[in-house]
Amino acid sequence: MKTAVLSFLPILYVLGFSGCRQGHDYARYVRELDSLKVVTEQAVDHFTTVDSLACYEAYSKERSYRLFIESHVNDTVPKETAEALTGFFSTEKALKDYLGQRPVWLSEARSVIRQVGLLSNDLKNGSIETAEAVEFISTEKKRSEKIIEELKTNTVLIRKHLELYNRYLPVVEQVLKSYNAGILPAMTGEEKQL
């Protein structure tokens, strides 16, 4: 009897520690997923601090002002004015790209947040085995890292372009007024095409 109990002891020892190890892995994966979700949510929060309405208005004005200048200004302008016009009009592509991609980036980020949350809940509820979850965790981690980087990069980029836009806007508006009897041109509607 004593020999039988002693012979099962190594088996119980291995089973006990492997269970603890799996429990440890489980807890680590849940923490990692929960942390990933929080970091992705923070990236979305930071990204959405950029006022998309201000971006749309900047893009609309840029397009409208460009159309007016292309059709009304044929004269040579001073170097400082030319530099301001060039700087101002250089913001068009960034504004257009940002406004076009913003919903895509936010949708992808929200999808990642949702998937990471579901995966974490599945692990907590035992709906998925830890070993099976490793592949899903790896996939969602890569998606999360990619979207976080896209959000960070594009937040910095659009802020720089808005700063550039705002720096040159007064000079451009002065040029417009000088060619339009002291008033700014009306928005044409053509500038709204993204």
Which stretches of the chain drop beneath a pLDDT of 50? 1-22
pLDDT in tens, 124-164: 888 887 777 888 889 999 999 999 999 999 999 999 999 99
Q: Helix count (H) and strand count (E) of the chain?
A: 5, 0
Tokens representing residue 47 in the block:
């990204």
* Segments making up each domain of the chain, as ranges: 31-192
Amino acid at 81: T
**pTM strictly above 0.75:** yes
What is residue 13's predicted lDDT score, i.e. its pLDDT? 34
Q: What is the rounded CA–CA span in Å between residue 78 and residue 28?
A: 64
